[in-house]
Amino acid sequence: MRPLLKICGNHSKHDVHVALASGADYIGFVFAESKRKVTNNDLRNWLQGERNGKKVVALFVNADADMISSSIKGVPVDIIQCHGAESVELVQDVKRKIALPVWKVIHHHEQALETMRSFTGVADGYIIDCKADGKWGGTGKSFDWSHVPAYVEEGRHQQVPVFIAGGVSPDNVEQLLAYQPDGIDLSSGIEQDGFKSASLVNELEERMNNCGSKLS
């Protein structure tokens, strides 16, 4: 069975066109300070009409419920992604006030599994990422994927999906999928000149499908 696919960091009409035409299950937008930051108006303009069954994920870093609520007002967001150092209490508050599922990003480090366990019953999914160069993500750098099975096992214990992000590309996706994550999350790994590349997305999906048939 092919893992879930999330295409994140869409920041132009072109990106959205590529993502909607792909086989991705989720398309993500960054509302935090970033070279890929988008606005409420951007999503209103880009997400008109059919979304081909894809769910929209809105990414925030250390934002409170009020800020998130105002940022996504009137746009079709399905999932909130908390990508910073948010506390369990903050995530609970976001879920209570906004009434949407929340995915929590866990940045890989020695105590990351303990952090992940603290969100049991609160997070509706996890994205395991690599924090590098003082940035919360989007650096194109990966962590040691031999740790992936431990994260996936914890996700299964919590009965929520675990996505792997950070440095994933068509060139290395087969290596990552050998560790059987529930999903993968890409941004820069499928870009050319700063924009999503349909050819790279197609190459990625071909390799994912090939891996899926081998693992099934």
* Secondary structure element (H or E) that encloses residue 28, with its range: strand 26-30
Q: What's the mean per-residue pLDDT of the chain?
A: 92
Compare 34 and 137 and report the one with higher pLDDT: 34
Residue 213 has a pLDDT of 57
Residue 131 has a pLDDT of 67
Q: What are the DSSP calls for 29-80, one per residue?
A: EE-SSSTTB--HHHHHHHS-S--TTPEEEEEESS--HHHHHHHHTTS---EE
DSSP strand pairing (26-30 vs 191-192): unpaired
* pLDDT (average), residues 48-77: 94
Three-class secondary structure assignment of 166-181: CCCCCCCHHHHHCCCC
Please classify residue 148 by burial: count the beta carbons closer than 10 Å to its beta carbon, then call 0-12 exposed, 13-18 middle and 19+ buried: buried
* pLDDT (average), residues 64-93: 96
pLDDT tens figures, 141-179? 689 999 999 999 999 999 999 999 999 999 999 999 999
Identify the bridge partners of residue 37 per DSSP, sorted by sequence position.
30
Residue 140 has a pLDDT of 57
pLDDT classification of 204: cutoffs 50, 70, 90: very high
Q: Is 7 helix (H, G, I), strand (E, B) or coil?
A: strand
Tokens of 122: 């609160």
- Supply the pTM of this predicted model: 0.93
Topology adopted by domain 4-215: TIM Barrel (3.20.20)
In the chain, % helix, strand, coil (3-state, to 5) comes to 40, 20, 40
* pLDDT (average), residues 67-72: 97
CB 174 within 8 A of CB 207: yes
pLDDT tens figures, 139-149? 556 899 999 99
